[in-house]
Structures are given as structure tokens and as C-alpha cells.
Amino acid sequence: MTKEEAQKRIDELNKLTSYHAQKYYDEDSPEITDFEYDMLMVELRNLEKEYPEFVTQESLTQHVGGTVKEGFEKVEHEVPLQSLQDIFDFEELEAFDERVKKVLEVEELQYVVETKIDGLSVALEYENGIFVRGATRGNGLIGEDITENLKTIKNIPKMLKEQVNITVRGEVFIGKQEFEKMNEEREAMEETLFANARNAAAGSLRQLDSQIAASRPLDIFIFNVQKCESISFISHYEALQKLKELGFNINPVAKLCDTMKDVIKEINKIGENRENLSFGIDGAVIKVDNLEYREKLGVNAKTPKWAIAYKYPPEKKETSIKDIICQVGRTGAVTPMAVLEPVKVAGSTISKTTLHNEDFIKEKDLKIGDKVLIQKAGDVIPEVVDVLKEKRTGNEIEFKMPTVCPVCGALAVREEGEAVTRCIGIECPAKLHRNILHFVSRECMNIAGLGEEIVEDLLERKLIYNIADLYDLKLEDFASLKKDGKKFAQNLVDSIENSKKSEFYRLINGFGIRNIGSNAAKQLVKKYKNIDNLANASLESLTMVEDMGEKRAQSVYEFFHQEQTKDLIKRLKKAGVNMEAEENAEMLDERFAGKTFVLTGTLEKYSRDEAKKIIESYGGKASGSVSKKTDYVLAGEEAGSKLTKAQNLGIPIITEQDFKEMIQ
């Protein structure tokens, strides 16, 4: 490689590593695996070593990646939170050992070997034993104040067992089982899955709303004393034991080794047992134990000279795709799943894995019968990483996404601009639980008391099979769900009966038609007046409804032309559910015409519904989310993230008093 080629490649690598570091550290949404990023850094480091004249301060070999997110206070670390240099074989480890011993002029040296937790590094500060502040690593010198988020983690002691002034460093993470459960729940709710446990933990901690952090299964291991005024330590291992006495949850894998042979033995042991650990790791950390020696060895710009990280390569295994089947989630998403020849990867047997969607299959050119390579993303989620096309026999079968739901037979539709195919059948058993919860919610039919657990009980006891069955339930059906449940049962029966009188638009909203919310339902009711007119409307007519557009019109048209829908409407009519628009009072005036309001927090005088009706009576719209199109945010007490977003976007924020003045 010529000097010109080297400089060009170093420039390319600087851009690549900076881009992927931003995705990883700042956005918590990596686009490449840790191993791929590590290989880029290794190439950059080696080229810079060979051509030091091309090293710049912007290079990530010279500083830690990460910036302070907008909205957080900056924290200057009194003791920098440095990164570790990564190595990938034992020859590099032995070279590190020789280097350290040469500087220290010793022949024997004790090391501590610990698991390298795959999470987010933080510093915790205590004054007189009281937790006063916590911060992210950031760029190593300046981090983010995330104290309130850290207080939600139960394994961070708020008060130590001794009144000491101490700053410690730890790693916040999410356990393997907890991560799998969280992703299963997100998949069921059709939310974007977290790429790995590390990014889930980092994304949870770097939220402006601490309630989000509190809702996530975050944990922490403490692995270092950064600064301590009242206790002096001789060795790192001794410091770890003292941290445990003080009440900290220390790294459970920390082995004191007398020789490099013992170090290598411990690294191998961790590697062999990593699948049995309840938390994810991406390597082993080797640290000089003697703290006086550490002072003598010192640090580089980015890394300490007394520690190094051994990285384990991701394990890949070959298997074959026996079949591709489709599962239907609670939201109707039809997800292709690969049925695999069972293979053991990273300690567990994998027999199936998600193929995400139709585009993923096309991009990989996957076929039934293909030989593929499987690995676990972040050592947790199994995934297909490569298709071994050279091993094809010609007997492989091309997969096509179904056009009907494999569970209920209703249409399965992939809308333009979306990657997901969805079942649109309202009676589909796979999504019935979610459909009913939506139907009975406050924004729809407002059946008070019919919450998630009750709906689940009704389904498990086979008392309901679709939405219409709710109106056939008797007093004794509900009474059987609870001990001494007569009053509870009567309240539910009354609530269901009252829901029959609900405004027509609430029924349309309750159907859960794709792309149709409360405002769109009101526009449909305004134009068509009753269910028969709406059900018989042509596609062309639907597109002419205000704010409807082709996409929404198509959703409505397809929904009302399903046999399941026709059957449901017939049964709801028989039950006496209102399916006609009321003759609305004339609009007071159009002072809010073209204006969009978002409500957040608790209002003193009005309920949310009352405030929405007032806004609509003056020609305005009430939306559920803040965007650049929002004109006003009406904020009450305990306003949350919507208020914060509005402030960030510069949207006018009005109080309840302001609102009263606007409508007088």
C-alpha cells in the first residue's frame, strides 16, 4: 500500500467509524455488529501505527465515542471514564503482559479477570454515603446527568452502609431473559425490536422521561472505584470486596490470577460458560491488580495502559431452512418464520428464527431448503446472517407471502410504503385480545371495568370468540370471574348496556380499521350518517371524504367488504348498538378552523373528551401526538413527554386559563 492509498483508507475508516459510533453511542441504533465495528477499528489502528503522520485528533483511536444528548445537563468527570483497547488473540495478550512487566521492571504480576458486561457505562457519586448524582460516560470527559433515571434501578443503593464520599463506575445492562421477554412484548405490540440488550439499556437510560427507564428491567454491576476520599486501597481486588461490603452489586465474575497462564485459563473458562450467564458479555477484561503499579503505568489519550479487553468472536453455525411459516401477531402483523434444522449456537438449540418481513427474504434471496449461517445477535436473538448459495442443489423452493391470513382466512394486505403484511380480519383469533381491548377503551365504546385481565379471562374460559359476543354476556358470566363478584358483574353488565348508546363515530373508531383514528371516524360519520351508507360506499366516494386520501379510503373499503365485518355488523345491530349519527348542533363558529390541538396532563375544569368536543365545536381538531403540524399544546398538571416535545419544536403551549379565554 502506498502512502497515498494509506491516507485515503485512513480517511475512509475515520468517516465509517465516526458514523457507526454515532449510531451506536448517540442514537442507540447500530447498523453493523460489534464484531464488524471492531474489525474497522483494528484496521484503522494498524494503519495509524504504520503511518503515524496521518493520525488526527478526530480519529476514534484518540478519543471515546459519544456526545451529550440534547435535554440533559452536562457532567464533567473528575476522573475520566476511559475506554479499553480490544484484542482478539492470546498473542496480543502476551505482548500486553510483556509490555507491562517491562515498564514495571517485574517478572511476576497479578491480574484480575472480569467479564466485560455488554451495557452502558456510568459513574455514580456518593456524598456521606448518599447517592447524589449519576452520569453516562459520554466522551469520557463529559457525560450526561441521568440521576433520575438511575434512581429507578433497584440494585443502585440510594444509601451506602458507611458514610463515605466515593465515585464508582458500573455497567447498566438488561439480563438475557428480561431482554427476550421485552422484545417478545414489543413484537406482539408491533413495536420496533431492540437490536440487542446493550442498546435497549442505553436507550432506556438516555430518555428524558424517567418513567420509561422505570418501566424497563434495568440492572447494574459495579466494577471500579474512580475516586474515594475516605478509604485507601492497595489493590483492585480488595476494592471490589469493599464495594460489596458497602452495598454495591459488583461484577459477579472477577478472578484474581497470579500468572498469565491463569489469566488465559480464566478467559477460556468465561468463554465456555458465557451462555450460562444471565447477562450478556462481549469479552473479558484483564486488569493489573496493584493500584500503585497502575499509577506508574499511566494512561493514553483514550485507554489505560494497565488494562485490556479480550473480545470473543460471534459464533456462527451452519444449518438448513426446512420450511418458512407465517405467524400472526396481536396487531395482525403476518411475520415469516424460518423452521430450521435444529442447531446449537452460543449454548442454546435454535430450531426457528424470524425472517422479519418480505423485504428481508428478498434481500437475502432466501429459499426453502437453503443452507444458511445462523448466529445470535448480541448473543440473544438468533438470526440468519448469510445464505450459502454455492450449496444449492436446484431443489430449493421460492417463498411467497400469503395474500390471506393463515389463521382466519381474511385478506392479508401490505400497504404501499410499509414492510409489514397485515391481516385485516376483525374476528381473527390471533389479534382478538388486542381488538377487544381497543373496542372497549375510553376513546372507543368506553366500557368501564373491562380491562386486560378480564378480557384475558373471558377468552381463556371461551366465553367470547369475537367482539359481538360481549353483548351476549350475562351477569353470571362475569360473576364467575371473581369471588363475591356480584356487584362487579352488575357494573360490567350496566357498562356494556350503556355502550350501546355511544356516539356512532366511537363504534367506527372501535373497529380498529387500519389508518383510521377518532378524527377520521368523525369525518366518515359526518358524510355517511349511518353504517349501511358507510359499508356500501364506493372507493371513489371514500377518497372524497375530508382528510381521507387513497390509503385510508382503501383501508375502509377493504374492511367493510370482509365477510367477518358483515357478520359482526349484523350481530351488533341485533344487539341494539347505535349505528347512526346524531343530528349535531350547528358549529358555534370557526375560530379554530384549520388548527390542531394536543392535550397533555390533567385539566382542572374539563375532561379530555369535553375539551376535545369544545375544540371540534369551533372547527378545530384534537390530535393525540405532537408534530410540526400542531398549532397548540394545551398543558394541564403533570404534563409529560408531549410538553417536552412541544417545547423542543417551539410549538405554542397554552394553559387551561388561556384556553378558557380563547373560547369565551
CATH of 424-575, one of 1.10.150.20, 3.40.50.150, 3.40.50.970, 3.20.20.330: 1.10.150.20
Report pLDDT digits (tens) over 427-453: 888 888 888 999 999 889 999 888 888
Of the ranges 35-44, 63-72, 182-191, 391-400, which one carries the lowest mean pLDDT score?
63-72
Q: Which residues contact 41 (CB under 8 A, 6 or more apart)?
A: 17, 60, 61, 86
Q: Which of residues 364 and 638 earns the better pLDDT score?
A: 364
Of the ranges 7-11, 121-125, 292-296, 369-373, which one carries the lowest mean pLDDT score?
7-11
Amino acid at site 490: Q
**Residue 58 confidence (pLDDT) above 80:** no
Kindly state the average pLDDT of the residues 392-413: 93
Kindly state the average pLDDT of the residues 51-69: 68
Q: How far is CA 533 from CA 164, 243, 527, 536, 557, in A?
A: 74, 72, 9, 5, 12
In the structure, what pLDDT confidence band is assigned to residue 653 with cuts at 50, 70 and 90? very high
Domain boundaries of the chain, sorted by first residue: 3-54, 74-310, 316-398, 424-575, 596-663
Kindly state the average pLDDT of the residues 391-413: 93
Residue at grid coordinates 441521568: 146
Kindly state the average pLDDT of the residues 48-76: 72
Do 597 and 591 contact (CB within 8 A), yes or no?
A: no
Report pLDDT digits (tens) over 270-322: 988 887 888 988 899 999 999 999 999 999 877 899 999 999 877 788 999 99
- Looking at CATH, the fold of the domain delimited by 316-398 is given as OB fold (Dihydrolipoamide Acetyltransferase, E2P) (2.40.50)
- Looking at CATH, the fold of the domain delimited by 74-310 is given as D-amino Acid Aminotransferase; Chain A, domain 1 (3.30.470)
Q: Which of residues 29 and 76 earns the better pLDDT score?
A: 76
**Residue 63 confidence (pLDDT) above 70:** no
Q: Determine the pLDDT at residue 396.
A: 94
Amino acid at site 384: V
How many other β-carbons are positioned within 10 Å of the β-carbon of residue 365?
Answer: 10
Do 399 and 336 contact (CB within 8 A), yes or no?
A: yes
Q: Which of residues 284 and 52 earns the better pLDDT score?
A: 284
37 is written with which cell numbers? 465495528
Q: Determine the pLDDT at residue 68.
A: 47
Report pLDDT digits (tens) over 218-274: 999 999 999 998 899 999 999 999 999 999 999 999 999 999 999 999 999 998 888
In the structure, what pLDDT confidence band is assigned to residue 69 with cuts at 50, 70 and 90? very low
Report pLDDT digits (tens) over 349-398: 788 898 989 999 999 999 999 999 998 755 556 889 899 999 999 999 99
For 3-54, CATH gives: 1.10.287.610
Q: Determine the pLDDT at residue 96.
A: 96
What is the rounded distance in angstroms from the CA atom of residue 596 to the CA atom of residue 490? 40
Kindly state the average pLDDT of the residues 517-544: 91
Kindly state the average pLDDT of the residues 645-653: 89
**Residue 168 confidence (pLDDT) above 50:** yes
Amino acid at site 123: A
CA–chain centroid gap for 124, Å, is 25
HSE-CB of 185 using CA atoms within 13 angstroms: 9
Do 621 and 597 contact (CB within 8 A), yes or no?
A: yes
**Residue 70 confidence (pLDDT) above 60:** no
**Residue 64 confidence (pLDDT) above 80:** no
Kindly state the average pLDDT of the residues 33-54: 79
Q: Which of 83-87, 237-241, 617-621, 624-628 is predicted most confidently?
A: 237-241
Report pLDDT digits (tens) over 466-521: 999 999 998 888 887 776 668 888 989 999 999 999 999 999 999 999 888 888 89
CA–chain centroid gap for 187, Å, is 10
583 burial class (0-12, 13-18, 19+ CB within 10 angstroms)? exposed
Q: Determine the pLDDT at residue 445.
A: 94
Q: Which of residues 164 and 642 earns the better pLDDT score?
A: 164
Q: State the Rg of the chain over Cα.
A: 30
Q: Determine the pLDDT at residue 203.
A: 82
Q: What is the mean pLDDT of the chain?
A: 87
**557: helix, coil or strand?**
helix
Q: Round to the nearest angstrom and report the end-to-end CA distance of the chain.
A: 77
HSE-CB of 142 using CA atoms within 13 angstroms: 6
451 is written with which cell numbers? 380491562
For 596-663, CATH gives: 3.40.50.10190
Active-site residues: which are they? 116
What is the rounded distance in angstroms from the CA atom of residue 160 to the CA atom of residue 426? 55
Q: Name the percent of the chain lying above pLDDT 70.
A: 94
